[in-house]
Amino acid sequence: QARVLLFKILSDCYILMVKTQNYHWNVRGPHFHSYHQMLGMQYDDLAEAIDMLAERIRTLGFHVSANYKNFVTQATLEEEVGEPDTEEMLKKLTDDHEYLIREIREAIGKLKETEDEGTTDLLVERLRTHEKTAWFLRNHLSNYA
């Protein structure tokens, strides 16, 4: 069960990493520099998270079938195919991080039955990071109160 949950989260993080990198490259506007830096840090965090999730799957004794087709097939998050403006980029990233927050909370709940503290600990750390990232992104949105 942990392998399936972890690979699903890994796949969604992979799609989010690619989307974040895309936005990092293509952000524009008067706040370009600060957004470019923020998205670069988020991209780096997601790259590290992907590595940690894959290593956890391997630690549990499973093979990580890491190819783009598998990630896209398993992920719920969608790739970016358009050219959104900066505000829309931030909104989409906020929505994706909030989706991952819900997904990770659900996975943690399922793992309580297995007593897999190592996986649970990894997911709790990911949960905190996605919560903080969503908070940062929400505070950059012009319609956030």
> What is the C-alpha to C-alpha distance for residues 139 and 94, in angstroms, rounded to an integer?
10
∠ at Cα 97 (18, 65), nearest 5°?
Answer: 50
For residue 1, give the 3-state DSSP assignment: coil
Alpha-carbon gap, residue 133 to 24, rounded angstroms: 15
Q: Are 77 and 101 in contact (CB under 8 A)?
A: no
DSSP symbol at 59? H
pTM score = 0.94
Query: Which has the closest alpha carbon to 137: 100, 95, 78?
Result: 95
Q: Residue 82 in 3-state DSSP?
A: coil
The answer to whether 24 and 43 are in contact (CB under 8 A) is yes
User: What pLDDT shows up at residue 135?
Assistant: 95
26 vs 19: CA distance, rounded Å: 10
Confidence at residue 117, expressed as pLDDT on a 0 to 100 scale: 94
**C-alpha dihedral over 57, 44, 109, 90, to 10 degrees?**
-140
- C-alpha closest to that of 96 among 106, 88, 108, 85: 88
pLDDT of residue 144: 62
Collect the ranges in the chain with pLDDT lower than 70: 144-145
